[in-house]
Amino acid sequence: MVDDRPPTHPGRHGPAPYDAVEVIRAKRDGHALSDGQIDWVVDAYTRGAVAEEQMSALLMAVFLRGMTPEETTRWTDAMIASGGRLDFTDVGRPTVDKHSTGGVGDKITLALAPLVAACGAAVPQLSGRGLGHTGGTLDKLESVPGWRATLTEAEIRHQLRDLGAVVCATTGDLAPSDRKLYALRDVTGTVESIPLIASSIMSKKIAEGTEALVLDVKVGSGAFMRKEEDARALATTMVELGSAAGVRTVAVLSAMDAPLGRTVGNALEVREAVEVLAGGGPSDVVELTLALAEEMVVAAGLAADPARLLANGQAMDVWRAMIRAQGGDPDGPLPQAAERRVVRVPADGVLAGLDAYQVGVASWRLGAGRTRRDDPVSPAAGIELHHQVGDRVRAGAPLLTLHADDPARFSRAEEALRGAVTVVPEAAAEDGRSAHARVLDRIASDD
């Protein structure tokens, strides 16, 4: 005879009020979890009182059954409650942050943080490292000689007061449940769940203590969300979570079918971001940087003009001070790869497509990315783009330059690029210039 009585698991104060199997069954059968069930299971898993296989089953049930908005909000709150919260209300500036869901060639944060700081805001940009085909902001900045990613909370606060911007690694105490849950989702096929993605992102951003948040939700082949309807659903969910937590939150949908800008890779992207701060750079990078800066300035309650502060060099001044404050040399030489190989245009016509995902994978194979979170990356590896979508091209002209420290990496990178390039006759071409960077839509809590 099977004993159906739920076992008890020890909690912080005696027997647990809930049972993991009951919680799994409830979600498996399509029921909404109660606030108490969510609070308990997130806390118990973080403490190790719920087994990995039990949380794996619950995550799969959530993946298949979904969550109500109320469940997602409570799940996010429980993840926040698993650690500490930062408070920057004493830095003397309104705080506003930006988060991107990740793309290929997405170096926007590098110019955006000092630009918005020059507008009068404090930008506590706690960032991460790259994994797979998308790059990480910290990996890019670590190509700057001497720059360090790890700061104490006191150093972060001091830099925000003095300069208005800091880009650094997240502190260990923010939403520690997310680290465990994300690692488990990664190996159980449960990453692509909008409630779980939204709660993962927003638990960290809310715990970070910012007063306002602008989300850059990418759409397309090089983005996590390839369909606009999925990206819109994720953006809406995150805006609702932020607003429920008292954080002024706006989401911008931007296209990511082709790489952003003309470089993919760590040092290569830093160089391009500095070009933007110097008043140049690719038009698509400038366009998106200014669009997000304008959203952040409004969200922070400021009236500055980001375009003017970018043009007059004030954003560059903040960049240089920010790099120095974290031990870096803004005038130091960036790493350069030992080997290069050119990929040429296959035919005359107009470049109608350059698949962002395939370019991202090629850059990863060249050494710019990692497979596991503790893998090293090459600061010099990556890809230069000599043309963007919409350009007229001639057969045999340089299209891409591959950068690597080890020439043995070129063959696998070129393999990843097969079928990535689409050239059409001029008569058949549509105007695709900068289409991959344009803002597709804006979502805010008052829409």
**Over the stretch 56-108, which tens digit does the pLDDT of each residue have?**
999 999 999 999 999 999 999 999 999 999 999 999 999 999 999 989 999 99
For residues 23 and 31, what is the distance between their CA atoms, to the nearest angstrom?
10
The whole-number pLDDT of residue 187 equals 87
For residues 25 and 189, what is the distance between their CA atoms, to the nearest angstrom?
19
Bridge pairing between strands 14-15 and 10-11: antiparallel
Around Cβ 344, how many Cβ atoms within 10 Å? Answer: 14
Around Cβ 97, how many Cβ atoms within 10 Å? Answer: 27
Q: Cα–Cα–Cα angle for 317, 323, 327, nearest 5°?
A: 140
The whole-number pLDDT of residue 439 equals 84
Any bridge partners for residue 218, and if so which?
254
In the chain, the domains with their CATH numbers are 10-66 (1.20.970.10), 96-332+439-444 (3.40.1030.10), 339-428 (3.90.1170.30)
For residues 293 and 277, what is the distance between their CA atoms, to the nearest angstrom?
13
Candidates 244, 203, 209; CA nearest to 90 is 209
Q: Residue 386: which residues within 8 A CB-CB, separation 6 or more?
A: 262, 397, 398, 399, 400, 401
> Angle, to 10 degrees, between the axis of helix 52-65 and the axis of helix 35-47?
140
**What are the strands, taking DSSP E only, across 5-46?**
10-11, 14-15
Q: Is 201 exposed, middle or buried (0-12, 13-18, 19+ CB in 10 A)?
A: buried
pLDDT tens for each residue of 266-287: 999 999 999 999 999 999 999 9
The ranges of the chain with pLDDT < 50 are: 1-13, 432-437
Would you name the residues annotated as active-site residues? 99, 178, 185, 200, 204
Phi and psi angles of residue 428, each rounded to the nearest 5 degrees, phi first: -95, -5
The whole-number pLDDT of residue 136 equals 87
CB of 46 closer than 8 Å to CB of 180: yes
For residues 240 and 247, what is the distance between their CA atoms, to the nearest angstrom?
10
Classified as helix, coil or strand, 98 is strand
The whole-number pLDDT of residue 183 equals 87
The whole-number pLDDT of residue 132 equals 63
Q: Residue 340: which residues within 8 A CB-CB, separation 6 or more?
A: 401, 402, 403, 404
Q: Residue 387: which residues within 8 A CB-CB, separation 6 or more?
A: 345, 351, 393, 399
Phi and psi angles of residue 54, each rounded to the nearest 5 degrees, phi first: -70, -45
Query: What is the torsional sign of CA 186, 187, 191, 196?
Result: negative
Query: What is the torsional sign of CA 186, 189, 195, 198?
Result: positive
